[in-house]
Chains A and B, each alone.
Chain A
Amino acid sequence: MENKPLENLEIEGKSSTFFIPTVSFNAQTGYCKIEGESYLENTWEFYDKLTNWLKAYAEEKKTVTFNFKLTYFNTSSSKGILDILFFLKEYEAEGNPVTVNWYYPEDDEDNLAEAEDFIADSELEMNLIPY
């Protein structure tokens, strides 16, 4: 059976009735970015799609650089984000190179506190970067 190469995952962010973050996952470089606001009609479906892409990418045991730059996410989305972090932690524990950057607005302490709680939950190191 022929293996189809993994394609990049691109989702255009949109703010209408719901807030869809911009997603850009690169299948060659492992550079992944999720940016904007996350409040979705079907949260589980959306985040499962991201986690499934990462699982497919992880088959090749390549480097992952994951960048979060979310200015708003509701509590349901936070559960989806945590699932991504759990997977990255597992991938890292298997000996694969993983870097995670969490960007937050410098005046937004709540956003920083969320990131700290994600670190505590996932036990995954993240670089906390104010902007």
Chain B
Amino acid sequence: MNLDEPNSNFAFLSVNNTQNHTMDTGFNLFDYYHLTRQREVMIAYKGPITDVIMSEISRDIRTKFANVPKIGRKIFSIFIELAQNILYYSAEEVRFGDYVDRVGGIILLEYSDHYALACGNLVENANVQDLVDNCHKINSLDKDSLREYKREQRIKPSSEKSKGAGIGLIHVAITAESPLEINVQELNEQFSFFSLTVKIYK
């Protein structure tokens, strides 16, 4: 197979013929489209997370959940905290001229009895253990202890690295009323892909 097959750019349009038109040298939009075309996917975004993108997605969440405001409020609030974590802390950056944006992915899925909000981004390997430990600690606490933990952390002076109150993940677990499901894939000696999913029951 010729890797430089010129038609490979049209792999997305050649569904019946993908064998001959697999895109080996570029981005396979079909794979991306295929993954996100499942019925469960309500929102899928991967790319630079900016204030404007966050604002647009948050508005979309409000619109979609207008009929179930209680769940809508929870998902809105969880979304903001998770997206802000990417905005502030993702280890992957893209530059457009003078702008530096941080990159991540966010996906909202609907299942029969719950919604799932998942986010993922690159993390420096050196920071993975603290992040994982914090998630495990959060998952080990019941709702009252979580509220106490959140208060304890909120009252602490902000660390220099922290751009927020440092309690986003605790808030996410309290609001979702379910554990933080985490997954870490080490990519190389410097970075890992960290993903976090929370379920919000209907």
Contact = CB atoms under 8 A, between A and B. Distances in A.
A12 interface: no
A76 B77 CA distance: 12
Contacts of A82: 154-155
A41 interface: yes
A31 interface: no
A3 interface: no
A75 B164 contact: yes
Contacts of A45: none
A110 B70 CA distance: 10
B73 A18 contact: no
B153 to A, nearest CB: 10
A18 B155 contact: no
Interface stretch (B7-15, B36-44, B106-114, B165-173): B165-173
Contact of A75 (B55, B81, B155): B81
A8 B42 CA distance: 45
Contacts of A74: 77, 80-81, 84, 164
Contact of A79 (B84, B165, B174): B165
Contacts of A110: 73-74, 77, 174-175
Given A18-B51, A108-B73, A75 B171 contact: yes
Contact of A39 (B70, B80, B174): B80
A29 to B, nearest CB: 31
A19 B122 CA distance: 28
A64 B107 CA distance: 45
Interface string B144-164: 000100110011001000001
B55 A72 contact: no
Contacts of A7: none
A107 interface: yes
A15 B168 CA distance: 22
Given A82-B154, A110-B175, A121-B151, A76 B73 contact: no
Contacts of B147: 113, 117
Q: Which of A18, A43, A72, A75 has the most CB of B within 10 A?
A: A75
A43 B165 CA distance: 10
Query: Across chains A and B, which 3 residue pairs bring their CB atoms closest together, nearest first?
Result: A79-B165, A76-B164, A75-B165
Given A39-B80, A75-B164, 8 more contacts: A72-B76, A72-B77, A74-B81, A75-B81, A79-B154, A107-B69, A110-B77, A117-B147
23 contacts: A16-B55, A17-B52, A18-B51, A74-B80, A74-B81, A74-B164, A75-B81, A75-B165, A76-B164, A78-B154, A79-B158, A79-B165, A82-B154, A82-B155, A107-B70, A110-B77, A110-B175, A113-B147, A117-B150, A117-B151, A120-B151, A121-B151, A121-B155
